[in-house]
Chain A
Amino acid sequence: MHFGTFFEATLGMFTFERLLVLFGATSLGIIFGAMPGLTATLGVALLSTLTMNLQTDIAMIALIGVYVGAIYGGSHASILLGIPGTAAAAATALDGYSLARQGRAGETIATATVASALGTLIGLFAILLLVPVLTELALQFTSVEFFLLAIFGILICGTLTSPDMPVKGWIAGLLGLSIAMVGIETIQSYHRFTFGLPELTGGIDIVPVILGGFALPAVIRNLRRPPDGVPTAVKISRVFVNWTTLWRQKMLIGRSGLIGVYIGIIPGVGEDVAAWSSYAAAKRSAGTDGSFGRGDIRGVIAPEVANNSCIGGAIIPVLTLAVPGSPPAAMLLGAMWLHGVRPGPMLAVENPEFIAQITAILGVACFAMAAMGLLLARVSVRVLQLPPAMLNAAVIVLAVLGSWALGLNIFNVYLMFMFGVLVYFLEEMGYPVAPMVIGLILGNMADVSLRRALLVSEGSLLPLVTRPIALILVLLIVFALVARTRFLRMLTAPISRALRRKTT
């Protein structure tokens, strides 16, 4: 992608219609993100069906706007209520709420807003720099590499997102793969697991799975216990940006941005891991002064930069490899497919303006988020004063309509409900939903790539270890399998101890 194309696309964003959609979607995302239990993934999923019949560029503007807004919006509830609006803002609550109770609510909100904007810009620059490089690399991929990439994506997502044992994350990913096998398979047109139902011949779509898997369990968890009371927000006296503090933390901002981009590129992991990783890194490098968790502004800057730079990081593999870097990016990928866009290595050849457009939307969305974030700071948490039953009833109705809108098929609504029950049950048992979504998205790629690879090698598995990129992916798969094991922790303990001595 040429920088000239990017600047042209950025200038093209400044029409009344596009700015209206962007600011509106970003505001909706901020309010959505401020509501605990409602995730950025759900916001993007609901909006993807709402925007299905709109032009592709308007749909992408709306989706990226709500994505950026929702990831940032969680910080409002974290800082003003001490309740994270999204998992990505949970780390922000530790220091943000303490600062707010010290009378620095306005300054903290403004700092979080600017930090998020800077994080989004870092993610944008990462896209500009890395997409051409990854595209060149991806053009050398054959079926072997695509199969291994799909397996790595599922395994690493399972390893990093499982709240219990990593193997439960892998099982969730395998369940996603098995769901992806429903329908007429691509190579021999054989009907797999359709049980004679014509509705299943086309396979199971990502939208009802995501709406069912994210919306319904969230509603159940929000309402299964009567609320403790109406949360009381800390009052904001004056919203102002402390530029001196931000300038002094420029190294922290840079490092947090890089952590966010790096985590975003890893398939399926997402903004919450980025935020916590960045918070932990900032805390470690702060040493033993004990200020973290008691109102240290670095504890707000680090996670907010990282969770927003993760957005750009997560979009990079979407555009270059058709592999989502996070659950909201998975929904963005699904929306691109709905609009007939084919992300992957050929996107840069077939539709190079699309990449520039996505990057431009992210850039302008960053400023929309900053502007609306500061304007809505006093308003967004008022949404939490609404009775939970009302908000959650609206979420269910939207999820039903969203599933229906895809294909105008009531069967998708039934599927949404059934996946909601399944995911709720699995999550209670410690099986995460993110790897299942990644498995569903990458399932077809894994299946077809495996068989094509074996066709070319006449049944031999040697190319898995003789092709250099394939060998690297095999090593990454091995890493994903052992990353959280005691064996690896034992191996890396001396390095971790040495690093800790360096920073204290």
Chain B
Amino acid sequence: MIERESLRKADIPVSLLLAGFGGWLVWSASRMPWVVEEFGVTKQWYLSPGLMPAVVGILIILCSTRVLAHALGEGAHRGLGRFLLSRFAALPTSRLAWRVLGLWVLIGIYVFGLIRHMDYHVATAVFALAFMLVFTDWSRVRRGRMVVAILLVAILLPVSLGYLFEQQLGVPLP
């Protein structure tokens, strides 16, 4: 969790987003059938598929408003614009942000790109290799040995899991 002062400032846009989501739920629920006449039988509002989404949407709006009110009460709205701009401006130079983005991008490429477009073993080996090469802390290891270990793991991981899932558990691979 991010630190408190930043958290309160972030609570304002996040709670507005969540309230918007709650509003969308209520709007979607309003478009679902509420009173239906079928085969001479009237199905009442309390059987409507929109009941639960409406209730949940309203509760999300109420709870998000509470979060927003709390953030405003702590003065988080003061300097919010400046805070958001400074955070966005700091992103390109933030090592943490690039590392997190890099992790998600690499996992995303594996999930959305590699698995569907090449053999599972090759896709997993490529992903594991790239992942370990990029995120190993090279300052604390012997490079030669680590590279060999990474290559071995990158090959053995898909082979062993593939064998376990296909041969032993009867689950075809993607």
Question: Does A429 lie within 8 Å of B51, measured CB to CB?
Answer: no
A138 close to B (CB within 8 Å)? no
Question: Does A396 lie within 8 Å of B46, measured CB to CB?
Answer: no
Q: Which of A192, A427, A428, A459 contacts B49 (CB 8 A)?
A: A192
Q: Which of A164, A177, A421, A429 contacts B52 (CB 8 A)?
A: A177
A165-B74 Cα distance, complex, nearest whole Å: 13
A446-B139 Cα distance, complex, nearest whole Å: 53
Question: Does B66 lie within 8 Å of A167, measured CB to CB?
Answer: yes
Question: Does B137 lie within 8 Å of A227, measured CB to CB?
Answer: yes
How many positions in chain B have a CB within 8 Å of any CB in the partner chain? 72
Tier of interface size on chain A: 35 or more
* A214 → chain B closest CB, angstroms: 14
Chain A minimum-CB-distance residue to B131: A393
A168-B13 Cα distance, complex, nearest whole Å: 14
Please report the number of residue pairs spanning A and B whose Cβ atoms sit closer than 8 angstroms: 184
* Chain B, 1-56, CB within 8 A of any chain A CB: 1-2, 7, 10-11, 14, 18, 21, 25, 28, 32-33, 36, 43-49, 51-53, 55-56
Known: A397-B157, A404-B174. A417 touches B63 (CB 8 A): no
Chain B minimum-CB-distance residue to A454: B46
Query: Which residues of chain B have C-beta atoms less than 8 A from A188's C-beta?
Result: 33, 36, 43, 47-49
Query: Which residues of chain A have C-beta atoms less than 8 A from B146's C-beta?
Result: 387
A230 close to B (CB within 8 Å)? yes
Q: Which of B57, B157, B169 contacts A54 (CB 8 A)?
A: B169
A216 close to B (CB within 8 Å)? yes
Question: Does A53 lie within 8 Å of B170, measured CB to CB?
Answer: yes
Question: Does A387 lie within 8 Å of B53, measured CB to CB?
Answer: no
A413 close to B (CB within 8 Å)? yes
Give the segment of A128-136, A217-225, A257-265 that binds chain B: A217-225
Question: Does A174 lie within 8 Å of B103, measured CB to CB?
Answer: no
Question: Does B115 lie within 8 Å of A410, measured CB to CB?
Answer: yes
Question: Does A181 lie within 8 Å of B52, measured CB to CB?
Answer: yes
A contacts with B: majority SS? helix
Query: Which residues of chain A have C-beta atoms less than 8 A from B46's C-beta?
Result: 451, 454-455, 459
* B57 → chain A closest CB, angstroms: 8
* Chain A, 197-252, CB within 8 A of any chain B CB: 216, 219-220, 223-227, 229-230
Q: Which of A175, A224, A397 contacts B158 (CB 8 A)?
A: A397
Question: Does B59 lie within 8 Å of A174, measured CB to CB?
Answer: yes
Query: Which residues of chain B have C-beta atoms less than 8 A from A428's C-beta?
Result: 1-2
Question: Does B171 lie within 8 Å of A408, measured CB to CB?
Answer: yes
* A454 → chain B closest CB, angstroms: 4
Query: Which residues of chain B have C-beta atoms less than 8 A from A388's C-beta?
Result: 135
Q: Mark A393-411, 1 if CB is under 8 A from B, else 0.
A: 1101110110011001010
Chain B minimum-CB-distance residue to A220: B103
A171 close to B (CB within 8 Å)? yes
A42-B105 Cα distance, complex, nearest whole Å: 22
Chain A minimum-CB-distance residue to B53: A181
B163 close to A (CB within 8 Å)? no
> Which 5 residue pairs spanning A and B have beta carbons closest together?
A454-B46, A190-B49, A389-B135, A447-B52, A393-B131
Q: Please list 10 pairs of residues, one from A and one from B, whose beta carbons are closer than 8 Å in the complex, sorted by A's number.
A: A51-B169, A167-B66, A170-B59, A178-B56, A219-B103, A225-B99, A400-B110, A429-B7, A454-B47, A459-B46
